[in-house]
Structures are given as structure tokens and as C-alpha cells.
């Protein structure tokens, strides 16, 4: 009896081991690799890594001859138009059970301009050529079919011939370590968005209404059509919390109809300041919150007393017109003039007869303090947490032993309590 049970247990265990081995082998058989070049490999690498099913994306140099496989060599002027130069490519390793090669190739074509020969945007030279390097015949045949499909879509939209070079992989060398995960290592920058805007899911897009962007001052953020880490970082750190009075809108490069944009639209994110539909100035790339608000201050405040107060630690004239307006407002909240964040409440306002707005306290967490020893005085400066602008000073001579926050009215806006959402 014991021998029979022991035999059955052994058989059961062997069956499990066998099935496990088969399943693991099956998973391994679905690990595939393809090599894709679409200009600079920094942004392309990050784009592939964002796809579910992609296991790894590594930057490198492929199919070069007579040139050393390193960055210093391939960027030499003598190799700029050398047909034997290495191409900057991304080695994409993926699980075909989770993502198909077809989807990867569609992403490849949708995220660059394959009609450009040996360049992508401002990156010019054979190292930036559009190329698909296959490792087997099935990859070649699928690539040919995808190229034909995309060419038809491009032709229908008045684009030229695809210049993507389709060939078998002959050699590949990993790029230097500083090129790997470049966008992670360099968090402040931009992603080159050089796509044509033509996608395989060719559903007719309804034209977005840009009419409101043609009136007054507007902030336009140029977003990527595919994944861009700098765009996501700008949203998280700056624009998602923006509450200012100048409207902020996101668009992609193919959604700018009716607007007069002078700056290149291939870098994302780009911050474009518009007035009546015309670009006033722009900034390319990710920007920290305080630098964003300095640009916004330049746009909104111009060469004014408010700008001088906000960014040069100036001081309003006593009893200035903004003070006279704000000293007797109905109940409500005073806001940061740039970010729109609440700073002070009328419940904490009092008349100090100093000629500047006075409060006993700020809205919790809205300001921070810095020592100020300018002009031979020891004072405590008050700045806005959200935008970093100078607001005024705090003194210890308020009513009933409370502080007196002495605040410049020109850097504030007001919203009545009944209008607060």
C-alpha cells in the first residue's frame, strides 16, 4: 500500500515538473528581439519601454562598417553622410504573448517621420536614418506589409515616400552607459516629437475647437502624441495644480489649426504663450515650477510694478490703487496673481493704516519665510509656496500680539467667497 502511494506521489511530482518545464520553455520561446532606428535613440528607447509587453529597450549602434562603434566616432563630420556609418538604434526585447511585433512596428512608424532621409528634425546624418533591422524572415515579411500599409496612409495625407531602410541585422553594439536610460538620468529636457500625426487606427478625427485660443492671453502646452516622460513630469509638477486666471490648454502638433506659431513644434513639452492666437514667445522642454511662473510673470505682468515686486523684491507705493481696491472687498480670498492659489483670507485682514494690505495670518501652507537683511534691516520675507514670488514681509506688531503680514497688493488677485467653487 505504501509503495503504491509513494509511486503515485512520484508520478504526480514528475508530471508537475514536466508541465512547469514545458510552460517555462513556452514563455522563453515567445521572447523576441528586433532592432529599430528612428533618429536619436534617447526618446525612442523610453517610448518602447512604456509599452506593455516590452521587456527591455537598449540603445546601441548597428549595421556600420569601417567606423568604430562609439558615439565619438559616429558623430565625426567625416561620417555625417557616410553610408557605412552606424545607425542609432534601440534593441527592443519583448514577449510576443503580451505585445505583438505588429503593434511595436506601428508604434515605430507613428512616433517618427519615416519620409525623412538620414535625419529626424534637426538631427541630420546617416546615424539618424530610419531603419528596421530584422533577425528572421517572418520579421522581414511583417515589416514589408506594415510599410505598405503605412505608405498608403501617408500617401492619402499628401506625404512622400517612406525612406525607412529594411535590412537584416549584421552587427550591433551597445551604446555607452550614459546613453542608456538617458531620459531618466537627465530629468530636465524635452522629447523630440517628430511624428507625422498619421496613425494606423485611421478613424477620422473631429477637428478640435481652437476658437477660444484666438482671444486674449492664453497658455498653450504642446504635448507629445505618444509617451513623453518630460510631458508627464510637467503635468505632475506644474500644470495639474495651476489655477491661474490665464487659461492653460494642451494640444499636440497636429491640433494647432488657426494659430500662428513661430517656434518649432517638434519638441515636447513646449510652452507657448499666445495673445489673440499669435505666439508671443515660447519655451521648449521641461521647466521647474518657479521658472514656469517667472515666464508667466513676464507674459502676464510685463514691465510693471507687479513684476518688479514679484521677482525683484520690490515694494508697492503706499496706498497704491490696488491697495485702495482691495482694502474694502467683500468677504473672500486673496490669490497668488500667477498660480491662482489662495494666500490670505478677508477674515484675517485688518486695517493697519500703513498703506499696505495687512493680515494676521496666511492660508495654511501657502507661504514660506526667508531672512531678509537688505537695506541694513533685519526682516522676514514672505514668499508664495506655489509660484515662489515675493509677497511682502511679516512683523511682530499686529493686533493683540499677533503677527502683521504686510503684503503688496499688486501681486494679488481677489475672489469673493460666493464665487469660490
The CA-atom distances, in angstroms, between 390 and each of 98, 228, 325, 378 are 52, 33, 20, 16
Secondary structure letter of residue 260 according to DSSP? B
Q: Is the pLDDT of residue 92 over 90?
A: yes
Task: Decide: 316 and 356 in contact? Cβ < 8 Å.
Answer: yes
Cell reading at 353: 493704516
Task: Decide: 327 and 375 in contact? Cβ < 8 Å.
Answer: no
Q: Is the pLDDT of residue 21 over 60?
A: no
Alpha-carbon distance of 252 to 223, in angstroms, equals 5
More confident residue, 10 or 371: 371
Residue 77 lies in a domain: yes
Residue 187 lies in a domain: no
Residue 80 lies in a domain: yes
- Say if residue 57 is in the same domain as residue 172: yes
When mean pLDDT is compared across 38-52, 239-253, 316-330, 343-357, the lowest value belongs to 38-52
Alpha-carbon distance of 174 to 41, in angstroms, equals 12
Secondary structure letter of residue 265 according to DSSP? S
Cell reading at 163: 525612406
- Interval 270-296: pLDDT, tens: 999 999 999 999 999 999 999 999 999
Q: How distant is the alpha carbon of residue 151 from its chain centre?
A: 29
- Interval 240-250: pLDDT, tens: 999 999 999 99
Q: Is the pLDDT of residue 75 over 70?
A: yes
Mean pLDDT of 247-261: 94
Residue 228 lies in a domain: yes
Residue 168 main-chain phi, psi, to 5 deg: -75, 150
Q: Which domain holds residue 333?
A: 311-419
Among 287, 322, 350, where does a domain finish? 287
Question: Considering the chain, what is the average pLDDT of its residues?
Answer: 90
Bond into 59 cis (ω within 30): no
When mean pLDDT is compared across 72-86, 172-186, 274-288, the lowest value belongs to 172-186
With b for 16 or more beta-carbon neighbours within 10 A and e for fewer, the 261-292 pattern comes to: beeebbbbbbbbbbeebeeeebbbebbebeeb
Q: Is the pLDDT of residue 148 over 80?
A: yes
Mean pLDDT of 34-56: 91
Domain count, the chain: 3
Residue 3 lies in a domain: no
Alpha-carbon distance of 110 to 114, in angstroms, equals 9
The CA-atom distances, in angstroms, between 28 and each of 16, 21, 25, 33 are 18, 11, 5, 12
Q: Is the pLDDT of residue 387 over 50?
A: yes
Nearest to 354 by CA among 315, 411, 380, 311: 315
Alpha-carbon distance of 112 to 233, in angstroms, equals 22
Coil, strand, or helix at residue 332? strand
Coil, strand, or helix at residue 281? strand
Residue 251 lies in a domain: yes
Q: Is the pLDDT of residue 1 over 60?
A: no
Task: Decide: 332 and 420 in contact? Cβ < 8 Å.
Answer: yes
Task: Decide: 285 and 267 in contact? Cβ < 8 Å.
Answer: yes
Q: Is the pLDDT of residue 228 over 90?
A: no
- Say if residue 372 is in the same domain as residue 265: no
**Alpha-carbon radius of gyration of the chain:** 30
Q: Is the pLDDT of residue 259 over 60?
A: yes
- Say if residue 272 is in the same domain as residue 316: no
Task: Decide: 85 and 126 in contact? Cβ < 8 Å.
Answer: yes
When mean pLDDT is compared across 202-211, 265-274, 346-355, the lowest value belongs to 202-211
Task: Provide the pLDDT for residue 140.
Answer: 97
- Interval 103-118: pLDDT, tens: 999 999 998 999 999 9
Mean pLDDT of 189-196: 76
CATH of the domain at 361: 2.170.150.20
Task: Provide the pLDDT for residue 383.
Answer: 98
Alpha-carbon distance of 17 to 15, in angstroms, equals 5
pLDDT category at 204 given cuts 50, 70, 90 is: low
Return the active site residues: 40, 406
Alpha-carbon distance of 113 to 40, in angstroms, equals 12
When mean pLDDT is compared across 6-20, 52-66, 161-175, the lowest value belongs to 6-20
Task: Provide the pLDDT for residue 5.
Answer: 44
Q: What percent of the chain has pLDDT over 90?
A: 77
Amino acid at each position: 500500500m505504501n509503495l503504491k502511494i509513494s509511486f503515485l506521489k512520484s508520478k504526480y511530482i514528475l508530471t508537475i515538473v514536466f508541465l512547469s518545464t514545458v510552460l517555462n520553455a513556452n514563455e522563453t520561446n515567445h521572447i523576441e528581439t528586433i532592432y529599430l532606428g528612428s533618429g536619436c535613440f534617447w526618446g525612442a528607447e523610453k517610448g518602447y519601454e512604456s509599452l506593455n509587453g516590452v521587456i527591455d529597450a537598449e540603445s546601441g549602434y548597428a549595421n556600420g562598417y569601417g567606423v568604430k562603434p562609439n558615439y565619438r566616432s559616429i558623430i565625426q563630420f567625416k561620417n555625417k553622410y557616410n553610408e557605412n556609418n552606424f545607425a542609432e538604434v534601440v534593441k527592443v526585447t519583448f514577449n510576443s504573448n503580451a505585445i505583438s511585433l505588429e503593434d511595436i512596428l506601428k508604434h515605430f512608424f507613428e512616433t517618427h517621420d519615416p519620409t525623412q532621409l538620414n535625419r529626424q528634425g534637426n538631427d541630420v546624418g546617416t546615424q539618424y536614418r530610419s531603419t528596421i533591422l530584422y533577425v528572421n524572415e517572418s520579421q522581414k515579411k511583417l515589416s514589408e506589409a506594415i510599410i505598405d500599409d503605412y505608405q498608403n496612409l501617408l500617401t492619402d495625407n499628401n506625404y512622400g515616400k517612406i525612406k525607412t531602410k529594411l535590412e537584416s541585422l549584421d552587427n550591433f553594439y551597445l551604446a555607452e552607459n550614459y546613453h542608456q536610460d538617458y531620459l531618466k538620468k537627465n530629468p530636465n529636457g524635452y522629447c523630440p516629437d517628430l511624428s507625422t500625426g498619421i496613425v494606423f487606427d485611421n478613424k477620422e478625427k473631429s477637428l478640435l475647437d481652437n476658437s477660444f485660443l484666438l482671444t486674449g492671453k492664453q497658455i498653450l502646452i504642446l504635448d507629445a502624441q505618444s509617451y513623453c516622460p518630460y510631458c508627464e513630469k510637467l503635468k505632475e509638477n506644474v500644470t495639474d495644480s495651476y489655477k491661474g486666471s490665464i487659461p492653460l490648454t494642451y494640444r499636440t502638433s497636429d491640433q494647432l489649426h488657426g494659430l500662428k506659431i513661430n517656434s518649432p513644434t517638434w519638441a515636447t513639452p513646449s510652452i507657448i504663450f499666445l495673445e489673440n492666437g499669435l505666439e508671443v514667445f515660447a519655451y521648449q522642454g521641461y521647466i521647474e515650477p518657479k521658472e514656469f511662473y517667472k515666464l508667466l510673470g513676464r507674459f502676464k505682468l510685463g514691465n510693471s510694478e507687479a513684476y518688479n515686486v514679484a521677482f525683484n523684491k520690490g515694494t508697492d507705493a503706499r496706498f497704491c490703487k490696488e491697495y485702495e481696491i482691495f482694502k474694502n472687498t467683500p468677504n473672500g480670498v486673496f490669490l497668488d496673481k500667477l498660480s491662482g492659489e489662495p494666500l490670505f483670507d478677508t477674515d484675517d485682514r485688518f486695517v493697519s493704516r500703513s498703506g499696505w494690505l495687512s493680515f494676521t495670518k496666511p492660508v495654511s501652507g501657502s507661504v514660506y519665510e526667508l531672512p531678509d537683511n537688505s537695506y541694513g534691516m533685519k526682516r522676514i520675507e514672505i514668499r508664495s509656496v506655489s509660484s515662489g514670488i515675493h509677497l511682502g514681509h511679516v512683523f511682530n506688531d499686529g493686533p493683540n500680539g499677533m503677527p502683521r503680514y504686510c503684503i503688496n497688493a499688486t501681486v494679488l488677485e481677489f475672489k469673493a467667497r460666493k464665487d469660490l467653487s
